[in-house]
Amino acid sequence: MEDTPQVLEQLSLRPATVQDVEPILDLVNDLAADGEMLPRSPATTIERLRDFVVAEVDGRFAGCGALALVWTDMAEIRSIAVAKEQRGKGLGRKMALFLLEEAERLGVARVMAFTYVTGFFDRLGFREVDHAALPHKVFQDCLNCPKFHRCDEVAVVKDLSCSQDAPPLGPLSLPMPGRHLPKRKT
Ligand SMILES: CC(C)(COP(=O)(O)OP(=O)(O)OC[C@H]1O[C@@H](n2cnc3c(N)ncnc32)[C@H](O)[C@@H]1OP(=O)(O)O)[C@@H](O)C(=O)NCCC(=O)NCCS
């Protein structure tokens, strides 16, 4: 009997374009309807489109993730999601590593996320922290969140290479822009 030829899928990443707004909203809001993550509005998705990376399988949209700058020492991974039928292939990790590399390039000390899937972030070297340990600025976007008064997401943080030179994590850790910036590694 002949061996069945193995079909290798092509997994790739690219920055989002306006053509991705609809697939991003469909994916994120379908998962939000199932309680897997928080919803996004068209307006914030368009405004924040340059934060997004898109994952493709054989040239077709399969997932997305965003890196939002919160302050000079903190960025946040938001809306990272993989289509249900494409999970478990490493796309989520690929996107998260891409976003972490982008955070390193920007020179921020730490990356955080609010999540229900702590195991996924744990595999990437994040640690769980108390919400109270996060800078207040982080919670600005929470004001528009439908779960503002009953947040059940876990906060996770990963220190990047600049973190040793940054103020310790805490509600008042925000340095003034342009002052006390973490030193960049050369
Ligand atoms: C979380 C999510 C993005 C992971 O995507 P994925 O492509 O399936 O993940 P990967 O295949 O890259 O998995 C990477 C690692 O994380 C682990 N992992 C993935 N999903 C996990 C989960 N739900 N719980 C625990 N661990 C998980 C994998 O086992 C793998 O571990 P390994 O290092 O031992 O191999 C995807 O399940 C998803 O879209 N979930 C719904 C949306 C969501 O919750 N997003 C997070 C919002 S902040």
* 178 assigned to some structural domain: no
Asked if residue 41 is part of any domain, the answer here is yes
**Residue 155 forms part of a structural domain:** yes
Report pLDDT for 26: 98
pLDDT value, residue 172 = 55
In a domain, 180, yes or no: no
- Is residue 174, in this structure, part of any structural domain at all? no
Note the pLDDT of residue 143: 67
Query: Is the Cβ–Cβ distance between 64 and 25 less than 8 Å?
Result: no
The residue whose two tokens read 């976003």 is 99
Global pTM value: 0.88
CB 63 within 8 A of CB 84: no
CATH code assigned at 102: 3.40.630.30
The reported pLDDT for the residue numbered 105 is 96
How many angstroms does the Cα of residue 88 sit away from the middle of ligand 1? 7
Quote the pLDDT of residue 95: 98
CB-facing half-sphere around the CA of 53: CA atoms within 13 A: 24
Q: Residues in the chain with pLDDT < 70?
A: 1-6, 137, 141, 143-146, 148-149, 171-186
How many domains in the chain? 1
pLDDT at residue 165 in the model: 79
Q: How far is CA 96 from CA 19, 49, 121, 148, 185, in A?
A: 22, 16, 9, 25, 21
67 lines ligand 1 (CB under 6 A): no
3 within some domain: no
For the CA of 88, the nearest atom of ligand 1: 11
Q: What is the pLDDT of residue 98?
A: 98
From the CB of 82, is ligand 1 less than 6 Å away? yes
Which 3 state secondary structure label does DSSP give 75?
Answer: strand
Determine, yes or no, domain membership for 172.
no
Query: Would residue 51 count as lying in a domain?
Result: yes
Q: Which domain holds residue 48?
A: 11-84+91-165
Question: What's the CA-to-centroid distance between 69 and ligand 1, angstroms?
Answer: 23
